[in-house]
């Protein structure tokens, strides 16, 4: 899918944008709907892509052996509310909740969301989106930071996220939702330019 250049996208000014406004954007438009605002999210960096690929390369075979659910990666729309539609880097949806998968979007909170930070999206991933994910029922949230070479794992507790583990450069992060799945930090960040 080719990204549509921002200058070719005509967005009428509004106080609050909704999913209908978001869905009317051309396919490949580099936006997410965050708090009723259409927020431009530039293409990910090479570091971001390398880390994403390394995570997906580990997740797919793990899940294929166990058939626990569905793993998707960006860009895929995750609709959480009329003013909140995100494109997380990686998501997992358990078989029990497969009904939230629709032809054009994920309609509800995935069980697991992994966001890989970039300078353009870090504020939203760490502040705004994490709160919305927690409120809407994401059970586990990973924040992967290629610059710090760190991984933080948060678990949902009463509508909020609680930090369960954090590793930097070395150490293992073990999923709660995907029991038995673990990642060594050094494997994610090795040889980053």
Domain harbouring 180, CATH code: 3.90.1570.10
Look up the domain containing 136 and give its range: 42-189
In a domain, 25, yes or no: no
pTM score, two decimals? Answer: 0.92
Q: How many domains does the chain have?
A: 1
Residue 11: the pLDDT is 82
Is the separation of the CB atoms in 108 and 136 below 8 Å? yes
Task: List the structure tokens of 191.
Answer: 């040889």
In a domain, 139, yes or no: yes
Angle among Cα 12, 17, 18 to the nearest 5 degrees reads 125
In a domain, 13, yes or no: no
In a domain, 156, yes or no: yes
In a domain, 19, yes or no: no
Could you tell me the mean pLDDT of each successive run of 10 residues in the chain, 193 residues long?
57 91 91 94 90 97 96 96 97 98 97 92 84 97 95 95 96 97 95 79
């Amino acid at each position: 899918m080719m990204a549509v250049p921002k200058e070719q996208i005509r967005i009428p000014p509004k106080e609050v944008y909704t999913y209908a406004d978001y869905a009317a954007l051309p396919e490949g438009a580099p936006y997410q709907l965050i708090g009723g605002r259409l927020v431009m999210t530039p293409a990910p960096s090479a570091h971001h892509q390398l880390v994403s690929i390394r995570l997906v390369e580990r997740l797919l075979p793990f899940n294929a052996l166990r058939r626990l659910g569905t793993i998707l990666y960006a860009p895929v729309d995750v609709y959480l509310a009329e003013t909140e539609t995100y494109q997380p880097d990686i998501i997992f949806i358990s078989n029990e909740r497969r009904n939230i998968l629709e032809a054009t979007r994920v309609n509800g909170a995935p069980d697991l969301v992994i966001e890989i930070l970039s300078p353009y999206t870090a504020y939203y991933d760490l502040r705004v989106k994490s709160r919305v994910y927690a409120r809407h029922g994401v059970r586990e949230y990973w924040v992967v930071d290629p610059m710090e070479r760190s991984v933080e794992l948060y678990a949902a507790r009463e509508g909020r996220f609680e930090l369960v583990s954090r590793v930097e450069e070395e150490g293992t992060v073990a999923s709660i939702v995907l029991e038995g799945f673990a990642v060594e930090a050094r494997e994610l960040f090795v040889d980053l330019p």
